[in-house]
Chain A
Amino acid sequence: MTQLALFLVLAAIAVAAAVSLILQRHPIHSALSLVVVMVALAGLYLLLDAEFVAAVQIIVYAGAIMVLFVFVIMLLNAGTEERTNLSRAAHYAGIPLAALLLVGLAYTVTRAATPIVAQPTPKDATRQLSMLLFRDLAFPFELTSVLILIAMVGALVLAKRDE
């Protein structure tokens, strides 16, 4: 019961913040709404007993990535956005496409081969996660980090090009 109440509260916060992210006029307010979404998601992970993932979610997304977003917005001193006329395609197709996506997702989730239920998490979940990442799935893990490194170097090269 407490679990359900907490889930509803956190989910409501996440959705409300996500809507606010789109509706806000000022980039900083949008960025802050996104931070709230991240923190609410971390709360949902906590409800699933995934302590490590929740902490890392906050450290990486709310703490590192969004701080950089806010930092850049502050540095550019971006002001309030002006509303232009929405694109015609978005005006007509937006809501039907969103509904289609929702139905598709719901269909896939309900049709999943193994029903999606929260597994009781073992006490040393963090240790097991590290075993997965650094032993069983070490190759894809390292490959992903190299990919991110390449993206970083690429960004630097692009930024330095006109010198």
Chain B
Amino acid sequence: MNGLFAQYPILLVSLVKIAVLLFILLTALAYIVWFERKVAAHIQSRVGPYRVGPHGLLQPAADGLKFLMKEDMTPAGADRFVYSLAPILAMTLALTTIAMIPFGPATITIFGQPTQLVVANVNVGLLVIFAITAISVYGVALAGWSSNNKYSLLGGLRSSAQMVSYELSLTMSVVGVLLLAGTFNLSEIIQAQSGFSWHFLPHWNLFNPTLPQVLGFFCYFMAAIAETNRLPFDLAEAESELVAGYHTEYSSFRFAMFFMAEYAAMITVACLATILFFGGWLSPFPLGPLSYWTRYLPTALFAAGGIALVLHGLRYRTALGRVTLPVVGLALCALGAACARPGIIDVIQGPFWFLAKVFVILFVYVWVRWTLPRFRYDQLMGIGWKLLLPLTLFNVVITSFAVVARK
């Protein structure tokens, strides 16, 4: 048992990190749904969720309760084991990928153990994420097959065909980044992107001085949208043709699991895009007098948001809002003040820039979904095999030449 005890503190620290990350992730999942509905509503000149809590902020809680209280049905003739396995598989795998994501360069101390802001700093982190993505096809395919429903089966088949096709482009599109960084470790990929050209343009892979990975990012983003089964590539759940696709028969919390898996996959894809193409936790400002002041950006943002919430909340329509919104605003102000404290300000920089970039990418994700119409199925396969795959291969070739020429 010596080995286990030697690793004991690390296990404990990992458990704490996993618990904290899971809490943050699940909350973020709930509020991304709220965020998406709000953005969608404003794109279509509506107001979106507004009734449950001020500005509909309690809507995720209401939805969660509703999912829990609905009847959980298994259709007749379903393969019971596979039917209950599929949603568990989908959600667990989608949540696992977040463990590889490094959120910042700082070292924090938990129970006297110095540790990094990542649950599992794996040497082949990128490959592990792709491995988990590769197996998550099963969740969708098995859900469709086990429901004993032809719409589900068609949805599952379409979706797995689509995911298998686009996985290839997804993997090939990041090879350019790997060639430039020379490692599979996500933290090292971020480190390789530090530095600035002409003192203002960061060396993020999107603007890499050897060869800007614009083509790589374009292919990655398209393949990622298809891989997560979202509009304009959501043929798997095209409601006008397939009712709801692979999760037609699922109700109650099992449906919620698929729902959460979809949004968790979205977050992973956005985090990965941030790491691979936008320099992860690196600040966009070069070291200098400016970067000294941008350290206070999190504080300024929290404080501004908090003050705006207090002012807006005091004039809110409902009594509940007049109490909650100012309280939340004051809490944000306090959080902002905490972010300016000497010990915390350096730790918070990495996660701040990382999450800011992830947020922007998520916004684009939602924006795309509510702007573009759905492709036809043959167009979808054509784009995957005849456009994206050749483009990614071309990107690999020119990046290789650029890397060799640079040496």
Binding site for B on A (CB under 8 A): 1-3, 26, 28-29, 32, 35, 39, 42, 51-52, 55-56, 58-59, 62-64, 67-68, 70-71, 74-75, 77, 123, 126
Q: How far is the CA of A148 from the CA of B142 in the complex (A)?
A: 29
Q: B4 in the interface, Cβ–Cβ < 8 Å?
A: yes
Binding site for A on B (CB under 8 A): 1-4, 7, 79, 82, 122-124, 127-128, 130-135, 137-138, 141-142, 144-145, 153, 156-157, 160-161, 164, 167, 184
Residues A55 and B3 in contact, CB atoms below 8 Å apart: no
Contact of B122 among A29, A51, A123 (CB under 8 A): A51
Q: How far is the CA of A28 from the CA of B143 in the complex (A)?
A: 12
Q: Inside 8 A of B167's CB, which chain A residues have their CB?
A: 63-64
Residues A62 and B82 in contact, CB atoms below 8 Å apart: no
Contact of B138 among A51, A56, A67, A126 (CB under 8 A): A67
The interface residues of chain A, by DSSP majority, are classed as helix
Residues B2 and A63 in contact, CB atoms below 8 Å apart: no
Contact of B82 among A1, A32, A39, A126 (CB under 8 A): A32
Contact of A74 among B4, B133, B145, B164 (CB under 8 A): B145
Show 27 A/B contacts (Cβ-Cβ < 8 Å), sorted by A.
A1-B3, A1-B4, A2-B3, A2-B7, A26-B79, A29-B82, A35-B135, A42-B131, A51-B122, A51-B127, A52-B124, A55-B128, A55-B130, A55-B131, A59-B127, A63-B131, A63-B137, A67-B137, A67-B138, A70-B138, A70-B141, A71-B164, A74-B153, A74-B157, A74-B160, A126-B123, A126-B184
The interface residues of chain B, by DSSP majority, are classed as helix
Q: Inside 8 A of A59's CB, which chain B residues have their CB?
A: 127, 130-131, 134
Residues A64 and B164 in contact, CB atoms below 8 Å apart: yes
Residue of A26, A68, A70, A75 ringed by the most chain B CB atoms within 10 A? A70
Q: Inside 8 A of B161's CB, which chain A residues have their CB?
A: 71
